[in-house]
Every structure is written in structure tokens, then in C-alpha cells.
Structure 1
Amino acid sequence: MFRGTPSLTLLLVALLAALLVAPLSPTASATPPQRLANYVTDEAGALSGAQLAEVQRAVDDLYSARRVRLWVVYVESFSGQTAQTWTQNTMRLSDFGGEDALLAVATGDRAYALLVPDAAAGTVDVDTLRRNEVEPALRAANWSGAAVAAAEGLAQTGSGTGISWVGMVAMLVVVGLAVLALLLWRRRRARTRREAEYAAAQRVDPTDPGALATVPVEALDELSRSIVVEVDNAIRTSDNELALAVEEFGERDTAPFTKAVADARTTLSQAFNVRQILDDAVPETPQQRRDLLVRVIVAAAKADRELDAQREAFQRLRDLIINAPSRLDALTQQLVDLTARLEPAEQTLTSLRAQFAETALTSIVGNVDLARQRLEFADQNITNARTLVARPAGSQGGLVDAIRAAESALGQARMTLDAVDSAATDITRAVAGLPDEIADVQNGIRHAGELLGQPSVPRADELRAARDAATAAVATAQSEGGADPLGAFTELTQADADLDRLLETVTEERETAERLSRAFDQALYTAQSRVRSVSDFIDTRRGSVGPEARTRLSEAVRQLEAAQAKRGTNLPDAIAHANGAATLAGQAQTLANVDVNNAQQAYVGRYGGGGGGGNTGAMIGGIIIGNILSGALRGGLGGGSGGGWSSTTFGGSGGGFSGGGGRF
């Protein structure tokens, strides 16, 4: 064993301690904030002699151009302070004023700050200068280039130049012409826009307030003015025509037209009242004006619609009077033709009575007598109408009623005779088609029975009722079809149609339900998978996942439970809940991924590139509850990495600052 003197032993211990401590000491010298004596201070040895002269020249040029003093300092380190704090303190110690700016660079820390008072910045965007010119030069270790870029950037601001009075006059003339041209262009453009807006407003339904709500107020005003004039003219014209019509047709026949004109006049009067409110001296708010204009347009348009609704009928009434002689000739011919059909129809009815039971002919048994009565009534009205036509205009009251009564009576006589003529054909066709119709209905009855035998059939009560009605119709057709084939056939076809319609509806609803059930199963499976997956992810990384992801997952679970609860009552809602659960689970996964990544970066940044071995995974997984969530992950990391900065005043300079700093 080595043995030495006590003094030698103490010396070895001191040397060993120095070696152990040396690696833990910072290699770069830390420089505290200081009072600057020179415009360019290089304590880091960053500049050569030529570069120092270049930076000094750029600083001097800035002062000559704008009387702004740019100070530049290079150090190894900012002594543990942020770049902005170190620069602030240096500016305070240096008694900087409103025209003093400072670029501070820590070459060892790779940090910097450029702070410029607002008075010194002028029109220069200091943040843009810092990001686009200064910082790129620092990243390339171009220390002098960064300072030169800062000085030249601060020098780029507006400067006054002398302008002769001739140039000033010329400039004013040019500006005046430009303003005049702009005014003319804007006026023409405004006129074109108003014309286009008015044309568009005319295409809008004027009775629809919702459609008018999208029309500009100026176009509404112009539209309201034109529409009240047009409708007022229409009412005045209608008044004149109505007076002549009443004299010609009488008050009873023109009563609908009289009411339409009166209603239109009342409605238009309301529109004029609102228009008066708009035109008086009391101003309205923009919204009040819009509402009033819409009321005017809607009222006037409704008045016009009331006139239009009667205009066509009014014209037909006038045509009826004008063409009365020819119309009566045509009615007389119809009367003759229908009278000739009475005897053949009577013979046909006798033949049908011999072939079928009386119950089969119930709907037509009295048709011939009814047709004879209608023809006699038509003959009386035609005779009366001819008497009225012979009278002079103004004394033909009742002519329109007589013509219309004759037309209606002849129409009913024709229908009753047609029914007799077609009865034989209809009954024969019913007899021939009855067996096939019975078979068809029986097939529907069997199909309905099969569906009712299955579980969860939609509309089961309605389907059962339709099946029973069809069964009864088949029984009636089989027992009474020979006596009343047409009635049996009619009852069968009605029951068949009702049953077929319901069978189709039930089938469609079953297919829809099956399709929705398949869609729900798929949506539920997807949602359950995503919820389970993200839940496992959070569970194994619980030490790093924050509340946002957990909240989304909790809501996803709630939506999943709602989907399962509504499965038996409302499949569309259940599918919507399942899809919502899947979407929320996806959002929770994204948020959880971000939290885990941030936690990993935080741990590595705090403990170095090696990351502290297995402790990283243990902390992220929540096995070790440590500093990740308590500080680093939730905002305790980073800092000082760019962005803007503002401060209070330094050294009595007054005003604010622009610029900032960070790492490079």
C-alpha cells in the first residue's frame, strides 16, 4: 500500500476533488448584465477586426440616417437569465433612452434578443426584421451579419424628400383627377348594382316575407314604390269593368268579383298607410325601414293576387254572355241526342233484369227515369235562356244561371245513361274476372298469415284487420257472386288493394328494420373497439394523459351506453349514438397521443438525451407519479423560444418596445 506524507495526501485529495468537479462546471463564462461603454462590445471574441469595423460602420450609418442608436453586444452566456431579461437589465444599467436599441447575442447559449423602443422603430416591423434577417444570420454563426442586418433593417423607414411647388401642383391635379374618376366609377358601379338588385327583387315572390328578407333595402324601396302604383292602376281598371259587369250580369252573378275588388282595395289602402309612414319626417332604424317596406310589398302583392284569382272567372262569365246564342244551339243538340238514348237504355235495363238479380243492378235501376227528369229540366232552362238572350243588354239577368243549369242537367243525364250502357259490359267482366280475383286475394291472405306468425311484425294490428276484411270479402264473393258479380268484384278489389298496400308497407318496414339492425351492429362494434382501444391506451399511460382526452373518453362511454339503451326502441338514434361514441373515442386518442408525446419530450428535455433510463416509461405509465404532470407537461417547459415581447419603460425612455428574442 502506498504511504505518503500528510501534506502529499492532502494535495492528492484536492486534485481528485478538482477533477470530479471540473466536468460539472460550465465551460462558457457567464456574463451578467452590464453598463455598455461602446456601441459594439465583443466579450465573446465573435468578431474579427474587419467584422468589428463593418458592424461599427453599419451602426454609424443608422445613426446618420435616422438618429437611432443601435448597441450591439456579444457574450458567451446570459448568466442563466433569459435573453430578454438579460437585455432588459443591460438597457436599464446603460440608461438607454427612446432612441436606443440593443442587439444582445450569447454565442455559447445560442440565444439572443433585439429590443427596439417604439420611437426608434418608426415604421419598421421589428418582429419581421428579427425573424427574417437577424435570426437566420445567427443560426449560420454569421455574428457580424446579424448586427449589420439589424442596423440596415432599422434604417429602412420613410424619409422626407423635397418636392417643388410645380410637382406638388401636378401631384394634386393627378390626385384630383383620380378622385373624380373614382367617384364617377363608384357612381356608375352603384347604379349598375342597384339595377341588378332591383331586377333580382322583381323575380322574388312578393307575397313571401322570407324571400324578401334577402333583398337589399334600396331595392325593396324601389320595388315597393312601383308595386303600389301598378296595383292601384289594376284596382281602378277593375272598378270600371266591374261597374259594367254588374249592369250587364246583375249583382248576384258578379258578387265574387265585387268582393275581390273590395278586398284588394282594402289591402292596398293598408300598403299606402305604411308607405306614408316611410315617407314622413320621422326617421326609422334600418331594421324598422326594412320591416315596413316588406309589409308594403306583401300587402300590395296580395291585393294583386286577389284580383288575379277572379280575373279568369270574370272573363269566362263575359264570354258566356257574348257566346250565349251559339252555346244554346249546342245545348239544344245535346238535348236531342240524349233524348234519343232514353228508349235504348230502357231496353238494356230490361235485358239486365232478366240476367241478374235486382241487387246486382241497384246502382243503375232508376237511371233511365233520372235521365228523363234531368233532360226535362235542361229543356226548361234552354227555353228560358233563349227568351233572355232576345232581350236588350242590361235586362238579361238570369241568363248565366239558366245556361249553367242546362249544362249541369245535361251532364248528369249523360252520366246516368252511360252507366246503363256500360253495366252489361262491367257485369260480364266482373263474372269472368271473379275467380282470378278471389285467388289473388287468397294469396295475399296467406302471405299476411305468414307474416303475422313471425315475431316483431310492424303494424301487426292493421295487417290483421286487413286480412280479416279480405277473408270476409272472399266469403261474400263465393256465396253471392253469382247474384251480384259487380258488387262482389268491387268489394274484392277494394279489400285486395288495402291488403296489398299494407303487405308492401310491412315488408318495406321489415327490410328497413333489418338493414338498420345490421348498420347498428357494425356501428356498435366499431364504437366498442375504439372505446376499448383508447381506454387501454390511457390506462397504460395514465401518468401522462391529461383531462381533455379522459373527458372525451368518458363522453364516448356515455354515448355507447345510450346506443345500447335505444337499440330496441329507436334504431336510427341508437346508430347516431354509436357513431358519436366512435368519433369521441377517436378525438380522445388524438388528445392522448399529444399528451404522451409532450410528456416524453418534457422528460428527455429535463433529464437529457438519455432520458433517465426506465424511469421515463414508468412515469408516463403512472407507475412513478412525478414531475411530468405537476410541472413540465403543463407549461413548465420551453420558454424563451421566440415570440413577441413587450415591457414597461427603461431609463425614462417612455413608450413601449417591439421586438423579442429567444434561441437560434
Structure 2
Amino acid sequence: MDLLAGASLAVGTLVVLVVALGIVGFVVLFRRRGDRSVTGGGLAELNRTAGTLLVRLDDDVRDAEAEVGFALAQFGTESAQPFVAALNRARADLAEAFRLRQALDDAIPDTPREQREWTLQIIALCERAERELGEQERTFRRRRSEEGSAASTLEGIRRSIREQQSRLGGAHALADEVHTRYATRAAAGIRQLVDRADSLLRDAEHTTDAAAATISQSRVTAVAPDLAEAARQVRDAAERLDAVERRAAELAEARAALEERRASAAADVDEARAEVDRAPEPESARAILEAIDAVLAVAPSDPADPVDDLERLGDALARLDLALAASRNEADRRAHARAAYEGTLVSARSQISVARELVANGRVGVDARTRLAEAERQLVIAQAETDPVEALDAIRRAVTHARDADALARYNTMG
């Protein structure tokens, strides 16, 4: 999958191109084609259509990632390159479509014309991506039906099953350790991830056993779908085992970041106390004192939940930063922003990771997916930003959107 990871670096460039060309191109496209089912409908109907297409494309991109992995393993890098390129273009279209959806959902008022044109662009982006992915998937399904190497493909899948099964013991131990060390909320779902991976690998074994019994040069067409399903099951299992390891690593990272953040918070509180007497007016002094109290009120969770503690402490320190903004010079603001950024980055990554797993493993509607996409976009912006104050603002926005995505994914049903 190195090619897939490397090729994904092109996504940012593709998104920029879509932004530059999309506003003119897609509106012209819709106006010219005269499709009454789209341009003649009301805005509410267009919104429903756009939401449905976004959810479907988001799922299809995830499925295509599994298909690309199978194509790479079965046919090699060169043959699979068109599929990789189509997947990256689809990711770019999806990212831009979610950005437009977020613009429609945010608090900034949009004119009826903007609402309609942006919604039409979302529909066009989704349709284009679906069309390209569909063409590639059909091409590789046809190649599999013509391929005479089903036996070697089967052996490769069985090898992958054994590799993932060898991870199960460690994953079970890691899940037990997380449950012992951390609060229920922090450890939620980690054992289920391991159990589901185990179940998927057993299903893959049954699927490959059934395929092995019927493989022959004349029966490749019959077993090709089974081999594709088995490969998907192995990939899904690997993703869940990866998620277990990632969750444990994120909690450990959050724990270390929390210790550092508490130490710097103590220094921030000392600085704030010194600023109270120099505050230009009583209201400023009172705001600083209240912000100090908010920081001191963030007690460690028992049992431990370092991600939640980081978020609560980060919110309180953001309030303190605001109260001290008038008294800090530019150098102070930049220094404090750098110190706050690292801990907030850990929170953002963890929140995004959890929300991403919820979206991948459940029936989640377009609102949660839109907030998750925006959280991921703000994370990219923050990591590329050279100004520490702007970077901190972006990473805080990422945390906010990831929280919203998590809440919507847990409590909202598919619309």
C-alpha cells in the first residue's frame, strides 16, 4: 500500500484545482445540460439529493480503498495506477464537496443563489467521483473474471489472514491494558474492535476455503467475487487492529501531553496572578481571576481520561489566554500559542480518530461526516500554518468540529 499512501500526497493539489475550477465549471455544466431533475427542483430537494450523494460517495471512497489494495496485490503497481489516480481524484472531490457543505451549514449567511450554486457543485462533484470510481471498479472486476491466477491470489489472501491473526494476541492484551489503565469512556469500544477483527478473519477463512474448493482455470469467474470479499474482510480486520494500536498510542500520547500541559499551566497561572494588579480596569482583573479559577478547577479524572482532561484544560487555558490578551505582547502571545498547540494537537488527533471510526463502522448521516471532514481540513491547515497563533486557532477549530462530529455520529440517525 506504499503507492496508495504516496499517491495520496497529490490530494492537496487536486483540492486546490477543484476549488479554482469548480465554481465556474460546475455551474456552467448544470446550466448547459438543462437537467430539470436538478435545476428545476426546489432547494430543499437539492439539499436532500446532495446529502444522499455525499454519504454514498464517502462510503464508496472507503470501499474503493479496499478495492485498490486488492488490485495492487493482484495485478501490481503499474496496472493499478489508474485506479489509484481515480481514488485520489475522488478524495479531492469529496473533500471539496464537504467543504462546500460546511460553508452551507456554518453561521455565515448565504444568499439563495450561493446556496443553490454550492449545492449544485456538491452534486456535480459527487457524480463525477462516483462515475470515475465506478469505471475503475468495473474494469478490475472484468480483469478478475479473465485472470487465470486465482490460485496465487488465494494464497496471497491466506498469507494476509495469517499475518493479521498473528496480531490478535497482542491486540487483546493491549485492549485489556487500556481498560485497566483508563476510564470507561476513554477505553470505549476497543475490545469490540478486537472481537470484530477476529470475527472478520474467521469469515475470511471460511470464504477462502469455499473458494479453494471450486478454483480451476474454468471457474475463475465464479470465485473472483469470493476472493474480493475475502480480501475486503482481511482489510477490514487489519483496520480494526490498527485502530486498537492507534487508540492505545493516542491515550499514551495524551497522557504525556497532559503532564507537560499541566506544568506549563502552572506557569500561566503564576503569570496571570502577576497581571491582576496591572490590569487596566476592574473588569479585566475580574476576568483574569475567573479564568485562573477555571484553570485550577480542572482536576484530574479518576479513573484516568487524559484526552478529556486535555480538552477541559485546553478550554480553560484558552479562556485564560483571552483574559490576558490585552496585557501580553506579540512575543508572549506567540510563545504561549506554541506551548498550547502541542497539547491541543493531541486532542484534535484523538477526537478525529474516534469520530472517523464511528463513521466507518456505523450508519452515520451527512452532518456528522461534514463536521469530521471540516475537522480534518482544519487539522491540515494548522499543521501547515507557520504563525503559531493562527495554527492554534485552526487546531482549536479542528477540536470543536471533531467534537460535533462525534456527538452527531453517536446520537443522530441517518436522514
Q: Which has the higher helix share?
A: 2
Larger relative strand fraction = 1
After TM superposition, is the score higher than 0.5?
no
TM-score, normalising length from structure 2? 0.34
| TM-score normalised over the length of structure 1 | 0.23
Name the larger-Rg structure: 1
